[in-house]
Amino acid sequence: MDIRFVTRGVELKDDLKDYMENKMSKLERFFSRIIDGQVVMSFGRGLFTVEITSNANGVIMRGQSSAPDMRKAFDQGLKNLERQIKRHNAYLKDRAQLKTHDVSFELPLTEVEPPIPPEEEIVKVKRFPLRPMSAKEATMQMDLLGHEFFLFKNAESGSVNVVYKRKDGGYGLLEPSE
């Protein structure tokens, strides 16, 4: 597994880097298809924040933690990532079992949120590949990333859809109409 380290206002010592690489390589025992990983370390407000991101065969998973000690923040972030990898493995096993049964999954539709007011300006642009998947897979990916919404290409219809977390609980699905 290829691991990239990014530091922001933090000095990374070689012994700590070796420790992190050793711990990250152990993730492969939970999921053998982890392609690469990234560890982002920063310091602010008296706490070290460590963000660990891994690409597991196209599925991006992230664990984040803050602590007064960098090693402790890394260990807690890695535990969060391990939990997500284990959950993803369970999901894949359940999905394989569902393929043998004919089970359909639908999300409730809701109204679209109002647009951004014109005085707000876009401060960041992010580009990523759209992968075909089902709405259920998109909600799983959204939960793994810890995001409020997720843009994906619907494998059934071929159109671009958005799943999002509703404030009253559950998920919503946005589909374009013709």
pLDDT tens-place string over residues 84-98: 888 877 777 777 666
Return the bridge partners of 12, or none: none
The amino acid at 1: M
Q: What percent of the chain has pLDDT over 90?
A: 25
pLDDT at residue 109 in the model: 57
pLDDT for residue 42 is more than 60: yes
Domains of the chain and CATH, by start: 2-100 (3.30.160.100), 105-178 (3.30.505.50)
CB atoms within 10 A of CB 46: 7
CA–CA separation, 111 and 113 (whole Å): 7
Q: How large is the average pLDDT for residues 47-61? A: 86
Token couple for 57? 């065969």
pLDDT at residue 9 in the model: 87
pTM of the model: 0.55
Q: How large is the average pLDDT for residues 129-134? A: 86
